[in-house]
Structure 1
Amino acid sequence: MLEVSPMLATPTEVGMPYFAPFIEIEKDILKEAEDELRKTKNSDHIVHVSLNRGMPSTSEINVLMKMVEKIENSQQRMETSVEGILEFLKCVELKMNNWFEELGQK
């Protein structure tokens, strides 16, 4: 019986533990943005934009822009990591296919 290495697991089989560090990073970024906004304004809301209140302040916009940039960077690192895993899996698949072909020829 052929056993599948854990390195060959699909993202579904890997599950949430694999993605947990990325989720934690995004939570940390959000908390950092909330803390920064609380420093600049006494509010429990990140930004509250309405027709009655008008546009958010420059400092609120700057904090949100930094938060978005950090999230984008985190997502880019995650995409790069997933791309690396997929590339590795393609190599393993090719090697296994070659191995099975060699076994079939014997």
Structure 2
Amino acid sequence: MKKSHGPAFKKAVIELAQCPVCRGRAVIQGVFHELPCDHCNASGWVAAATGEALALDELVTQLSMRLRAANRQIEQLKKPRATGPEALYQEGNRLGAGGTNYTGD
């Protein structure tokens, strides 16, 4: 059943791309010093689909979602995964009595 009114239950992830004007640096070179990029609101990120700058509150939300996803990926990569025959002993397969690990020994 689709909702027809009110805010969404989950925040939609907007695909972000580097700003084409500042190339993701958030600043552009002025005559004497660097200036904040007006195209991306000095963030370095724009919406990938439209190339438009996001509103600051939306940008903070989207960057937070990307940061959480990147942290989850880093944590998964830090966990050592067993390979080969030892993998059968490290991970539960729920084939034993009561859903316990069964190794065939």
Short-chain TM bin: 0.3 to 0.5
| TM-score of the pair, normalised by structure 1 | 0.32
- Structure with the higher strand share, 1 or 2: 2
| Structure number with higher relative contact order (C-alpha < 8 Å, ≥ 6 residues apart) | 1
TM-score computed with the length of structure 2 as normaliser: 0.32
